[in-house]
Structure 1
Amino acid sequence: MRYRLFGKHTGLRVSELVLGTGSFGTGWGHGAEPEEARRIFDAYADAGGNFIDTANGYQFGQSEEILGDLLAGRRDDFVLATKFTMRTDPAAGILVTGNSRKAMVSSVEASLRRLKTDRIDLYWAHMSDGVTPVEEVVRGFDDLVQAGKILYAGLSDF
């Protein structure tokens, strides 16, 4: 496996291949059961991969839950990236959807619980919600960095 620096302004070393985990879980009616997810994850790790991508909304949160179990005992061997913007529960209220600071804080706390970790290495806003000013998003990210909940932040599909 080859590695690169993440972005132009970090010293974070990530594998060139990222393991996307949108199919970990069956919350959407299809995807990998935990045993199959473990086989995929282990093959990726055995190949030297260290960069894991997920999102709070993938499989209605199941992807993060499965990853939390898979990372047990080896969390520091991986760069863990997750995204927010979409809600995990279709019945959840409007205040936990989008990129507002309120939604961001609620989402990061829930992701930390599901991932069974004390920090997220890279936290992305998944997409623009069309209403939240980017200044609010960036300030929220900075607050989460200062609180030690995330190490890096970014914008995904903007």
Structure 2
Amino acid sequence: MLLFPSQWVELLPVLEKTYGANKCYMFQNNVFPKDVVLPPPPFAKAAPSQELWKNVSGVNILDHLYQEPLTPELQYIQFKIIVNPRAVFSTSVHGVLKSQKGCVWVNRSIARMYHTRDKRLPELQPSQLLYDDRLLSYSAPLVETVNAVLRENGLLPAQDKL
């Protein structure tokens, strides 16, 4: 079983080793509906409570752990890519049109794209969503970094004023 890299700097070497260098790496879009906040299963790790963020606008992605299932017709649309610009000759808004060595789909067991947004499949009931707590394994460094950026921008009080 492949394991997720824990940091961005670890991802590219894994992709190059797995798929080859100078490729276009494509990531499936995994939709986590922003209007669905369900309690995690009893065995799950709790997401950190962020009382500090209550007056900050936006969506706390750590509160959204249920994703829409990937359907065959939606599985390979609305994706994101990582490319080596020296290996790409032509692009469009929707991806790479021509590259040196082609594009590959990255296996979800290596990395995936999380997209907290409006539902793509509004007909789905909450019971049809899939629990995915992988993001929680990144919660400690994510919360620390978000807090630092919010402090730097004056949206949270300085740490010494807490």
TM-score, reference length from structure 2: 0.21
Higher Cα Rg, which structure: 2
TM-score, reference length from structure 1: 0.21
More helix by share: 1
Higher-RCO chain (CA-CA 8 Å, sequence separation at least 6): 2
